[in-house]
Amino acid sequence: MAAPTLGHSCSRSTTMTTPLPPVFRRGLAVALLLFAGLAAAQGERNPARGTKPMAEPGDTARVIVKFKASSVLTRKHALLATASAAEASEKLAARASELGGRIGLSLGAGRALDERTQVLTASGVSGAALARRLAQEADVEYAVVDHRRRALKVPNDPLYAQGPAIVGSTGGPAVGQWYLKAPTSAVLASINAAGAWDLNTGSDSIVVAVLDTGVRSEHPDLAGKLLAGYDMISNAATANDGGGRDSDASDPGDWVTTTEVNDPSGPFYHCLDPDPTTKLYVGEDSSWHGTLTSSLIGAASNNGVGMAGVSWGSKLLPVRVLGKCGGYDSDIIAGMKWAAGIAVPGLATNTTPARVLNLSLGSEGACEFGYIDAMAQLTAAKVVVVASAGNSEGLAVGTPANCAGVIAVAGLRHIGTKVGFSSLGPEVTISAPGGNCVNLSGACLYPILAATNSGTQGPTASIYSDSFNISVGTSFSAPLVSGTVALMLSQQPSLTPAAVIAALKSTARAFPTTGSDATVPQCRAPDATKQDECYCTTTTCGAGMLDAAAAVAAVSTVTAHIDATPAAPTAGQTVTLSAAASTLASGRSIA
């Protein structure tokens, strides 16, 4: 049977979609709303420096009011642009006094914005309530809360803004961590993590498990971020660290030599895909895949060093399930359960259970019972599972991404089209940047910059991928979603997996329909023929492009979402109601 695959630093072919090495897997509406004392959502975490509007100090409401050109007040107390400060103050106070008399409130006068627009203040009422009341007046054009804004929260990590200068065949990309920034007309696929950080930067109570090749804990961008994980690899040859399962989740390297991959008597015979040109089986250097994915989720950020991760504050739980030529389903499924705090015979229970699991791995084939069973247990435990859709170049989504309940993530080019290597299909939940080069030679323009190691076999120096040692693949799309989910849970810890998925879908930005070459087609349902770059649809690439800021904002308030099963009941049929997709402040419930 085909094996789970992982994406790592890839070289470019003419389509820039080098296939990933295989991982072996042997054998292998009706609704009733009953609210009992439902309170408002708790305030946002880390509100300082936020773009989210901040409340007025104390009980003082501030509102910007623009009067209509026909307003009696503005004609009676005309304010000329040439008026002195004293004259302006007198006119504004007179307007405030008369308007306040009309609505039965004592209004204070703030500054003018123009001849018909000014600030009004009041005590004992909220800004929103005051704005609603003033907007009802016949001579008021509009009334809006005078929110306080602050500078955007942007990390000071140097690689966030720009990669190192290109010297020879090292350095870059010039766009730095483009995939985390706010989207622009030229770079549509960026996830706007910067906007999410103004709501929160991640809580250390939210743990993200990274089921991968392990990590290099000495990397400066993982300092202080790692919990004690576990090495789930039961096969000693695959583990490549001298033994089987143990408590050391560090990555010793997963290199495979050309001799090993061509030795018919060895455990790694033909475990990699042959070279597409020569058809020969050649070895591969260590990928440091788990370090790459971990850093994207939660690198130590805003510390003036290296790169930024999506969820700065969240803790990372490394669970090693992939080694030389990948890993077995049994180890992966055991790792999923252990990471969530579910008992695994023979292992001590994980005392720091994860709320999010990132699986940047997979292979072709249908979702099998082992994963189906594990997903049922994980969903019941309110654990969110995120997986890469796969790098099959437009073929069907692989497993475990195609399992029910998994957030399957497809890959996008910087302009928002499906990147050539990404799998697609109706199982995809959402899409996120996967990295792409644009050019066919020289420096790759839009790789996914991440933490890695320079060792070709065992570990040597801590480095970052760049425009030459590139990282592209849906393996790097999934961590962007996992980090976003961690931010969502940091904002609203009570979220269920269903609520997380609903919020991600409802806030996704629409896919572009123009912007690439005239020859680029619309994505079609997957079949036996590969398809490279194409314009995504909601039936092939999920609900849209990931918008981290919108997703976190969406779960910052109380929303009730009641699902009925069956959706269209007949007379006399039992109806089950579920509020699982609702979002509530911590400690609250829908009864």
Name the helix (H) or strand (E) containing 74. helix 72-76
Q: What is the dihedral of CA 239, 243, 246, 249, to 10 degrees?
A: -40
275 is catalytic: no
289 is catalytic: yes
Nearest to 336 by CA among 232, 483, 239: 232
Spell 28-60 as b/e; 16+ CB within 10 A means b: beeeeeeeeebeebbebbbeeebbbeebbeeee
> Exposure of 273 by Cβ count < 10 A (0-12 exposed, 13-18 middle, 19+ buried)?
middle
Q: Which amino acid is at 466?
A: D
Helix axes 289-298, 478-491, angle to 10 degrees: 40
Q: Which two tokens stand for residue 399?
A: 């497993």
Which residues touch 57 (CB under 8 Å, ≥6 apart)?
Answer: none
Distance CA 325, CA 3 (A): 9
What is the spatial distance between Cα 240 and Cα 255, in angstroms, rounded to a whole number? 9
Q: What angle do CA 463, 442, 191 make, to 5 degrees?
A: 60
Q: What interhelical angle do 85-103 and 127-135 show, nearest 10?
A: 80
- 50 contact partners, CB below 8 Å, separation of at least 6: 44, 150, 153, 198, 199
Buried b (16+ CB within 10 A) or exposed e, 113-138: eebbbbbbbbeeeebeebbebbeebe
Q: CA–CA separation, 329 vs 345, rounded Å?
A: 16
Decide: helix, strand or coil at residue 166: coil
> Is residue 147 left, alpha or beta, with left meaning phi > 0 and alpha meaning psi from -120 to 50?
beta
The catalytic residue among 212, 241, 331, 466 is 212
Sign of the Cα torsion 400, 405, 409, 410 reads positive
| Length reported for the chain | 591
Strand-pairing partners, residue 451, are 464
As a dihedral over the C-alpha atoms of residue 193, residue 197, residue 198, residue 200, rounded to 10 degrees, the angle is 140
Q: Which of 475, 477, 490, 556 is catalytic?
A: 475
| Amino acid (one-letter) located at 526 | P
**Angle in degrees, CA 461, 467, 472, rounded to 5:** 90
Our answer to whether residue 248 is catalytic in this structure is: no
| Candidates 219, 289, 414, 561; catalytic one | 289
User: Is residue 236 classed as helix, strand or coil in its secondary structure?
Assistant: helix
Cβ–Cβ under 8 Å, residues 403 and 365: no
Peptide bond into 400 cis (omega under 30): yes
DSSP code of residue 252: -
CA distances (Å), 522 to each of 418, 420, 455, 531, 534, in order?
A: 10, 13, 41, 10, 5
Q: Annotated catalytic sites, by residue?
A: 212, 289, 475
